[in-house]
Structure 1
């Protein structure tokens, strides 16, 4: 947008100089692609923005007093992590944004209730309108912990105090509190083969242009794959391994060596896991494999087997600290203060800066490049060791604290709260009385329903729920003539046929990989040296496996939605978050159907802020329906690492006009969803999906090819 406004400004200046600009303006992107845009669309936007800027400047000049925080005449970005000006102003005003977990939406609702500072939130007694009680309690507890009004479960003195912090004040200690134990309890048992992994990458790195190559240069390089192994009885420190890459060929080789290492190590330690912090490692393993067209299936298999374990997901769902951030650097005072390597490169940003300097010195042949490289390796080793010790600390904290609290901000939340932790169109948890409003308020739905057993001949479903902790209505409605539920959701039938299909897919994949590898070897890497015939062959090789590659992003997003909290979901454009549901028709076999279905009216919103009308979630579209735990029998067993379940038996029947309905908040959509039990759970469908917290569905959909 900024670049387009800049072009519009140029055109406006040309117009003022009585020089007619062209009808279109053009941008040359970093990829080398050129995009064209109608100037008639851009100039009105630019002139409106310019008028607003002039108004702001005139107001500043006319007002002698300095601008104050939260002045209604001006907008502030409110991004305290990335904007020093907002961070300083918010701290001086004691703004409620200082509280971890409070962002723009929550701040607006709190402000409307007269809660504008961290101190006011810490002492508030009632949640504001539109905010779930559980969400409010979490934010208030966070504020109290940050202010030192609650001691939490423990604390440590900070070894590096920020300027202005009193040594005896509440900010001189880092307090912590476990809010739940489920995420820690679900961690895999320790294995002697466990690995603790961390990438270092430079997103601004550019590939050197080869002679005769006029293609756009690749950008971004993961220059260091680093990991430590779990130390053995005789190891004073965890053994560290680092694979360095100075170019894309090195990055490719590092990926191959790392995956080969893991697969070989899994032969010795089948129960090993690879621990990391945040999604970067998993995301970049996938992207590097896709970039180089190598080991894509092997990386997918690691993910399918649940080998990678993200400790950030554990921390996010069970740990509260007296800092608004939960980056690993903010956690390290809890367990790394005795590590002598805490000095040196202190952040990922600093590491990128040092790498850029290293690359420049290495190209010049300077001796100092070796020193900088070692510093980056030391920093990476420290980060890997920090991940190991974080896992140890979490287990120790769990052993020392007894917690029976149900997570209020669970990563599995998908329905109901103002924070809408839904995945997309997510379906109900179990049958409820027809026509009864079942919006949920807590994770209190039972995991077993009367009709869960096939011998009962019934079907289990769920009531509605969205976003916050829901407490909907759960039960079972026997359905005459219904097939046993186990069979309805896939049961155990067809294993031989499935194995034959899997074998055929594997053989086809191996043929494609062999063909692509042969073509790549013949075509070579240097595009500038290829003849037209060889370039045509290379294009053919790139087309091998096209449809499989096209499918991968959808399925990667789909499985990410089963793991991640709602605010981190990919594919938000095709995801509907359910905030309230009403059962219109309960589970029953209709007409000539062989299996039960039901219809539910869902009130909610698209996660990207758009409207259902015109989105991928149109009438007649099939969708994936996501559920938080406890999941109904229609979902079956959860995938490895999944915190919510899903089925693909949802169909959008109707998109209703909210009109003047008092029960539909402004800006919300009304959708009628038909949920149907399926005789075979879809394995190949490319569908959107719905997701919801305990009782309501959310849906998300993927557009067709």
Structure 2
């Protein structure tokens, strides 16, 4: 940014600076305007070094273009002085380069009077259009770079240049990151408009921007803000204070740390426990005296009991690393150059590494040191402060392919002890920061650090200087720097040791015995898997950007071996953490209910025939975003009681909550639930009430693991013989097109029209009438050949897979049912049907019977007999109410059913637990397994069920809600099978199967919006969708902006608008020939209200009921997947990005918006706060999501804002 002839000229980087903190940006504007003195900026050596490396990276790319195109590269000299004349000349030379068709324009210059920019590279594509490229030293795409690219594309268009739809970042690791301009430009335009708005508004002011000006946002943590925070004694001085909490305090009239410390009573928007902690933190900080150790208070002493007893083998560990170190062409970055530790006697051991090869040696030496020490001292522990050491050890082991199980074992056996969470859970300290350097005055005494190297950034800079000296042969000087770095690292290790001892002393002062073992998790332990290691040997380097698809497939196979163990482990680690962590740290977790009110509705009782006493409780409170309430008589979620709780649990950590599984037996419209809990053995009836309900444990997955290991063993044997098994799931992992005997898939237009009957021999059941199904799905006389094509391709498969993507309303289930019916009736196939939930499976089985297959040939055991998820659990809701036309099987009647139908074929339904169980479905005994909702079915589970069949049919839509995974996995085996084969495309590539491109549900105007949102513009409406009519209402998406502030998961203002919309819609004339509606009044069951949050569900439900609209369906997005109505009303509830729990990526996920909007046949109303678009996402994916949302809610003729209150 600079001032030119009285005009402020901005650049693309100013967009991100203003988005991060408008206050700080306007302070910079004030300096340019002469309203403030320029403050001295201290040079940052790390920034200067990265800038130099960035220039070198850019020069290398330029050299490659010079070698390739020679004189075809036009190099525009950047003006040494940014004047109007020099910029105009550079723009003229840039324009001439494009006019003569230069292959590459380097440093293309743009200047339109108020914006200036210099594009690294603009490259001519084969079609004559120009693609903008930017070189970045970073190893991944960043939002700042994307905004630059969009700005340059806009400037190019202004020059009359034909711009390509794609832009690229040439990254520091040699990779190229491609991005669609359509996913960037709406956000760019939004931020550009906001930038110009705040500049114009501020320039009109008389003086510099004032702290606390409500017109402009603040970051609260940047250097500019920090100076004001200290000057004004803002509440942001309080350690742990969030900007959103500050907003709630300001609304209550509390602006300073002093006012907070002196305050009392409740504050809207801040839980009582959190508020109490903030108030005490403020008081302690006010008591702190300069030059003295900060005051402290041990507020949760029992937590300190988890500290292990000191052991002679204990070590205290710290890393030093250089994030800018790289080798060769820059494929790898970040060298951990020092692994430092001290023992209990403060003896220092250092493992140095000056290149990546030495880093591997250092890692192996460190692990060998720990291994030997554990053998000598079985009770030893490795202490560190904050999570970096744990997470980075795992990353290093993965990078070098050594010691992964060993590092995992250190974590699993609780050898590594992170002192940071113990400090935060047990002690409050009168300091703004809880970094270890701020704690050192409590225990280092006269030994407080005074070395030249005083922080991590200094260490990195000095290390880079040492390497430069080594390269120059100045060995003594280099060694002196390395010695200083070593002493800095030693000091950090000693500081960790002293902190451990200080915490032990606090435990002793409070009478807490240390050394009580934490809860053992032996069920999660596992020996290193030789099978996984064997598969990984064929997987190549996971950090290699050029890793082949075959090597990636082997990596996926290896990750699948321990997939379910990682899922179990992740759940139990999170569960045990919830027992000891403050509730506010996990309150927003999916499927968590923080209980605000609990009442006993039936006290302890024991009905006739029951042996165990039980009681029933009514619980209400706040649900985590995305939660789904499942009613079941079976026990599921955990009920938590605050420490010490009414009953004791074996092996529990000191200070932990008591937990017990309960049944949710009823769910009320306001979000309240009724639970039934049983009395633990040998515990008298108690009156205590719970504080939270937390997620259920995952089901036993041993059968799935066994099936995957069998499959993996066969794969490993084949690879040792340099062969690939002929196997459907291996084809899927390799992402090869389906293997067919003919060599290609059958085109849709290569077969005759569909026949109205499934088979000559199967005429006992006719198609269910349109009035009976009331669904938007194909008729038998459509004649588009899709069913014939899919059947033909499946018959042509050679032990492979086929994918079918069906967006909402395209007849995916109809197609699947008719395909299955024909394969069985006409070809005697044995077909399995599997999905994430019993309900989805049973729905498809019903449709198979409706399609004409005899019910005796379609069977399934009840949900409770199958194992795995409960019948009510997981997956998308079914499209119609299941009527169970198929044959119910006994609990273990699978083999008998298959035997009876051996000759004529059959359809067998079940969950993954059924098909992975060889005692129910023998290996390879089926011709086909159909995976319904394959867009939500994990790759790992696909492998598990794939062992039962020769071929796979993936049926679903990855653009619907994704599957939720518990664990962290080295490869995306938790991702869906259909999503994997789609490879990031919104629409399935045609070489993998079929995309159902016509929706019969949505009107063309609505289908177009959904198509652009989620299907690359390739989804279209069937002609029948145009025959509907709703009088006085235009079809399509209607944004309804509603102004409100401070709302997180519930908005009374939006709820009122929803009721107003319902009132206006009901009674209007509705025509829908497919369901027999002809000029009928629109009824309550024709309107559906969708919201992402249970709290808003309750808000809307209560208002609708109060108005007498009890027939209008209201539900969360997760619950309503699969349902439809004439009109959908979507209420997003949150006021702004800072108010959104779990982040905007949850609220604005394209899959979630797709599901919500596509429930409608005619029109969808998107009720939202306009402030939801006023933020800058932190990730490229977030930019894409926000751009998609902006396209939905801000059309050219944006409706007027409805101001409420």
Which bin holds the TM-score, normalised by the shorter protein? 0.5 to 0.7
The CA deviation string for residues 381-438 of structure 1, in whole angstroms up to 9 with x for no partner, is 110001111122223344456799xxxxxxx9xxxxxxxxxxxxxxxxxxxxxxxxxx
Q: Name the counterpart of 2:1171.
A: none
Q: Name the counterpart of 1:179.
A: 299
The correspondence of residues 507-522 of structure 1 with structure 2, limited to 5 A, is 509-513=529-533, 516=536
The correspondence of residues 313-328 of structure 1 with structure 2, limited to 5 A, is 313-328=421-436
Q: Which blocks of at least 5 consecutive residues in structure 1 are unaligned?
A: 159-171, 210-215, 232-237, 405-411, 413-489, 659-669, 680-692
Change (3 A) 1:31 1:571: farther
Q: Name the counterpart of 2:692.
A: 696
3-state SS, counterpart of residue 290 of structure 1: helix
Structure 1 residue 73: Cα displacement: 1.0
Change (3 A) 1:355 1:225: same
Change (3 A) 1:560 1:202: farther
Instruction: Return the alpha-carbon distance in structure 1 between the equivalents of residues 210 and 301 of structure 2.
Output: 43
Q: Name the counterpart of 1:164.
A: none
Instruction: Return the alpha-carbon distance in structure 2 between the equivalents of residues 538 and 525 of structure 1.
Output: 9
The CA deviation string for residues 246-284 of structure 1, in whole angstroms up to 9 with x for no partner, is 233323222222222222212222221111111111111
Q: Name the counterpart of 1:138.
A: 277
Instruction: Return the alpha-carbon distance in structure 2 between the equivalents of residues 678 and 286 of structure 1.
Output: 42
The correspondence of residues 267-416 of structure 1 with structure 2, limited to 5 A, is 267-339=375-447, 342-367=450-475, 368-400=477-509
Instruction: Return the alpha-carbon distance in structure 2 between the equivalents of residues 571 and 360 of structure 1.
Output: 50
TM-score of the pair, normalised by structure 2: 0.40
Structure 2 residue 259 is matched with structure 1 residue 120: yes
Instruction: Return the alpha-carbon distance in structure 2 between the equivalents of residues 277 and 118 of structure 1.
Output: 28
Choose which of 100, 103, 110 in structure 1 pairs with 2:249.
Answer: 110
Conservation of the 8 A alpha-carbon contact between 1:634 and 1:677: no
Q: Name the counterpart of 2:210.
A: 68
The correspondence of residues 553-572 of structure 1 with structure 2, limited to 5 A, is 554=567, 557-558=570-571, 561=574, 562-563=576-577, 565=581
Is the radius of gyration larger for structure 1 or structure 2? 2
Choose which of 560, 564, 578 in structure 2 pairs with 1:547.
Answer: 560
Instruction: Return the alpha-carbon distance in structure 2 between the equivalents of residues 142 and 41 of structure 1.
Output: 43
Q: Name the counterpart of 1:53.
A: 195
Instruction: Return the alpha-carbon distance in structure 2 between the equivalents of residues 387 and 377 of structure 1.
Output: 15
The correspondence of residues 208-247 of structure 1 with structure 2, limited to 5 A, is 208-209=328-329, 217-231=331-345, 238-247=346-355
3-state SS, counterpart of residue 196 of structure 1: strand
Instruction: Return the alpha-carbon distance in structure 2 between the equivalents of residues 268 and 128 of structure 1.
Output: 55
Q: Which blocks of at least 5 consecutive residues in structure 2 are unaligned?
A: 1-142, 681-688, 697-963, 967-973, 976-1205
Count of residues in correspondence between the two structures: 538
Instruction: Return the alpha-carbon distance in structure 1 between the equivalents of residues 190 and 678 of structure 2.
Output: 53
Structure 1 residue 32: Cα displacement: 5.0
Change (3 A) 1:331 1:559: farther
Change (3 A) 1:75 1:257: same
The CA deviation string for residues 622-678 of structure 1, in whole angstroms up to 9 with x for no partner, is 98748475387999545779956777x6898998765xxxxxxxxxxx375878899
Choose which of 160, 174, 193 in structure 1 pairs with 2:313.
Answer: 193
Conservation of the 8 A alpha-carbon contact between 2:257 and 2:282: yes
The correspondence of residues 448-467 of structure 1 with structure 2, limited to 5 A, is none
3-state SS, counterpart of residue 189 of structure 1: coil
Change (3 A) 1:556 1:73: farther
Structure 1 residue 61: Cα displacement: 1.3
3-state SS, counterpart of residue 352 of structure 1: helix
3-state SS, counterpart of residue 253 of structure 1: helix
Conservation of the 8 A alpha-carbon contact between 1:512 and 1:545: yes
The CA deviation string for residues 669-699 of structure 1, in whole angstroms up to 9 with x for no partner, is x3758788999xxxxxxxxxxxxx9621133
Conservation of the 8 A alpha-carbon contact between 2:641 and 2:692: no
Conservation of the 8 A alpha-carbon contact between 1:626 and 1:644: no
Q: Name the counterpart of 2:324.
A: 204
3-state SS, counterpart of residue 580 of structure 1: strand
The CA deviation string for residues 553-583 of structure 1, in whole angstroms up to 9 with x for no partner, is 6566545533384699799775646353657
Q: Name the counterpart of 1:42.
A: 184
Change (3 A) 1:60 1:130: closer
Instruction: Return the alpha-carbon distance in structure 1 between the equivalents of residues 472 and 593 of structure 2.
Output: 54
Conservation of the 8 A alpha-carbon contact between 1:196 and 1:388: yes
Instruction: Return the alpha-carbon distance in structure 2 between the equivalents of residues 537 and 313 of structure 1.
Output: 42
Structure 1 residue 539: Cα displacement: 6.0
Change (3 A) 1:279 1:654: farther
Instruction: Return the alpha-carbon distance in structure 2 between the equivalents of residues 100 and 580 of structure 1.
Output: 26
Structure 2 residue 226 is matched with structure 1 residue 87: yes
Change (3 A) 1:541 1:138: closer
Q: Name the counterpart of 2:742.
A: none
Change (3 A) 1:14 1:635: farther
Structure 1 residue 343: Cα displacement: 1.9
3-state SS, counterpart of residue 295 of structure 2: strand
Change (3 A) 1:605 1:133: closer
Conservation of the 8 A alpha-carbon contact between 1:227 and 1:384: yes
Q: Name the counterpart of 1:20.
A: 162
Conservation of the 8 A alpha-carbon contact between 2:638 and 2:662: yes
Instruction: Return the alpha-carbon distance in structure 2 between the equivalents of residues 694 and 361 of structure 1.
Output: 63
The CA deviation string for residues 304-335 of structure 1, in whole angstroms up to 9 with x for no partner, is 22211111122112222221111100011122
Instruction: Return the alpha-carbon distance in structure 1 between the equivalents of residues 213 and 557 of structure 2.
Output: 58
Conservation of the 8 A alpha-carbon contact between 1:178 and 1:403: no
Structure 1 residue 90: Cα displacement: 0.8
Q: Which has the higher contact order (CA 8 A, sep 6+)?
A: 1
3-state SS, counterpart of residue 197 of structure 1: strand
Instruction: Return the alpha-carbon distance in structure 2 between the equivalents of residues 46 and 260 of structure 1.
Output: 52
Change (3 A) 1:271 1:321: same
3-state SS, counterpart of residue 278 of structure 1: coil
Instruction: Return the alpha-carbon distance in structure 2 between the equivalents of residues 276 and 219 of structure 1.
Output: 24
Conservation of the 8 A alpha-carbon contact between 2:397 and 2:407: yes
Q: Name the counterpart of 1:417.
A: none
TM-score of the pair, normalised by structure 1: 0.65
Instruction: Return the alpha-carbon distance in structure 1 between the equivalents of residues 244 and 194 of structure 2.
Output: 24
Structure 1 residue 14: Cα displacement: 1.7
